[in-house]
A and B are shown apart, each in its own frame.
Chain A
Amino acid sequence: MIAADAVVFWQFRELVVLSRRLSNADHASAALVRVHLDVDTLRENVAVLESSHDTEQFSTAAAELQKVFLRDVEDAQLALSRAAEIAQADPTIPAALETLKVALPSQLDTAVQLSRAGGWTAVRLRLRQQIQDLIDLSSSLMARVDRQAQQQRAKAIQDAETVQKRLYVVVPVAGLLALLVAVALGWYVTQSITVPLAGLVWGADALARGDFEHQVNIGGTDELAVVGRAFNHAARQLSQQFEITLEARVAERTRIARELHDTLLQSFHGLLLRFQTVSHLLPGRPMEAKERLDSAIEQAAEAITEGRDAVQGLRDSTLQGNDLAQAVSTLGEELATESTDGRPEFRVAVEGQSRNLHPILRDEIYKIAAEALRNAFRHAQARQVEVEIRYDTEEFRLRVRDDGKGIDQAFLSGQRLEGHYGLHGMQERATLIGATLTVWSEVDAGTEVELRLPAGTAYGTASRTS
């Protein structure tokens, strides 16, 4: 490409040189014509002056003519020196011009001196003879220069034609080269875009198939590489999210199974045994049987409550909205209406700007709060139940407080965790989500359950999903 351009440029440069040489030759030729005309004019004027026999006028005119002649000769010399090719081709030309330059003034001087001496005939003879020689000289000079100029012109035309021919070859070749380079460059650029794009399409397909391990391989630092890296990052995030969701589902199912096993199933197993006992007692001891049956019926009612709690736990995890405070309020109101002996006053307070919690975290927090609320409403015989949710910059905090009868220290110290308080489950949930659960309780003074979660855990993961 560049080489072809250089060739073209060089050819144009040659044309410029040619045209300059041509114009120099023309200048020289024209200058010589002027010199010849000067000499010719001189002869005519001298003939007129010489016939007037006026020495003064003759001398003035001669000086004038000589001045014009010398100026034109010098012009011609300059032009010749520029058109060096002419002097090179015919070295006699500068010499002849020099001769003319020297000879003509000397002839004029001689003629003026002769006229002063009154020798007009001598002047006339001399001038006729000598000037005729000079005219011949200038004429031949003019002709020679003209011939040289002609030759230069012819040569220039020839050179120009050569240049033209060369350009005829160079330009199409350069064009073809340019086309080839453009095609190659285009192919390269297209490849550098389509290959990574194809990789991205493959990656998207893999993701759609559920292959989260697939990574798009794009090197380099261009925009597509950036897109590729973003894609890989997104795929990893998606994979994590998917795994989290999947694992959470497995964990949830295991938890439900455990809960059913620990609550409903055991209650029913117990009930079955009781009914069997009643059946054994009925024939011989009907009164004792009735007593046992009544107690069994009571236990069955409790089992139904347990079952309802379990179902509530399931429902809440999927149907409650994003707002934790709202969910807690709803449950509290529900529990408040449920309680038969003196409906406790219920209040939910939110402090700080409410923040988004990760759905799984929110679910677990809700379930801990729900367990604490159930304890407060069902077992504490409280007059007031209070929930405080606090979104601090350092941590998330939830407190469930009641002014009821308090929990026996035996339960709190972890000696006996089974029974109705569900403290063990709350503690397990808290540990699972990286929270700390603290329970304060004093007999007849009330109970406070506090859940604290560092901000990084509580809000940090929320931005990933929302």
Chain B
Amino acid sequence: MGAGTAQIRILAVDDHPLVRQGIAGLVGVQPDMILVAEACDGREGIQQFRVHHPDVTLMDLQMPDMNGIDAIIAIRNEFPEARIIVLTTYAGDVQVLRALKAGAQAYLLKNALHKELLETIRVVHAGKRSLSPEVSYEIAEHAMDDTLTPAEIAVLRLIAAGNANKQIADHLSITEETVKSRVKSILSKLGANDRTHAAMIGLKRGIIDL
């Protein structure tokens, strides 16, 4: 519909069909936009990008097989000019920063899609960056916090998966004592009361994925 070349060509990468359908529906009725392709995981997203060279890519983060961050890095490596908007359910500061570092221009929460998606697509297409106030606030709130080391993140990920210290030690090939001291450090850095709390904070801030 409308004048072909003026339209913003969009690629939607999300493993949830309902979200893809929703995006397709909303974008489909905009005269200045066209959805050129869909993909249900990061790997397929890269392939579709190579085929269609979209102006703007909408990228979910939690996906099976290859997640959004890895896909963003891969696409930006190959196409440094690629403009990517991250779509995700949670506004975890760590995850946002990770996405921005990977090369995303914007970070959108899915619960704000219906209001902000179209505007954000246009802004990013125009070459600007965009962060919603909620996302900015999350980043600001934890800007001064101690960040977890990669080793601590590995332990936290296993805690969230329901592993005991001993199993974590086996998984990571370290001693149980080391695990204990890392858990202690994690609790202190995150301000968590216990392991469960730490796991929940880790998920909320996007330090670890679901």
Please report A residues at the B interface, Cβ cutoff 8 Å. 240, 243-244, 246-254, 257-258, 261-262, 265-277, 280-281, 292, 299, 416-419, 424
Contacts and interface: CB of A to CB of B under 8 A. Distances in A.
Nearest to A262: B16
The residue in A248, A257, A419 that gathers the most chain B C-beta atoms within 10 A of its C-beta is: A257
Contact of B160 (A254, A274, A292): A254
Majority secondary structure, A binding face:
helix
A247 B162 CA distance: 4
9 contacts: A240-B164, A250-B196, A254-B203, A261-B62, A266-B19, A270-B22, A273-B23, A276-B114, A299-B18
Contacts of A418: 15-17, 40
A68 to B, nearest CB: 108
A251 B16 contact: no
Interface string B1-35: 00000000000000111110111011011100000
Nearest to B112: A272
Given A250-B196, A266-B16, A276-B114, A243 B164 contact: yes
Contacts of B117: 273
B111 to A, nearest CB: 7
A275 B114 CA distance: 8
A280 B30 CA distance: 8
Contact of A265 (B28, B110, B162, B203): B110
Given A253-B200, A257-B210, A267 B29 contact: no
Contacts of B110: 265-266, 269
Interface of B: 15-19, 21-23, 25-26, 28-30, 40, 62, 64, 89, 110-111, 113-115, 117, 159-165, 195-196, 199-200, 203, 210
Contacts of A254: 160-162, 199, 203, 210
A-B complex: 6 closest residue pairs judged by Cβ atoms: A251-B162, A273-B22, A270-B18, A276-B114, A270-B22, A266-B16
A280 B113 CA distance: 14
Contacts, number: 100
B114 A272 contact: yes
B164 A247 contact: yes
Contact of A274 (B22, B161, B200): B22
A280 B19 CA distance: 17
Contact of A280 (B21, B29, B62, B203): B29
B113 A269 contact: yes
Given A249-B196, A265-B89, A292-B25, A270 B161 contact: no
A254 B199 CA distance: 8
A210 B26 CA distance: 55
The residue in B23, B62, B114, B159 that gathers the most chain A C-beta atoms within 10 A of its C-beta is: B114
Contacts of A299: 18
Contacts of A246: 195-196
Given A250-B199, A254-B203, A269 B26 contact: no
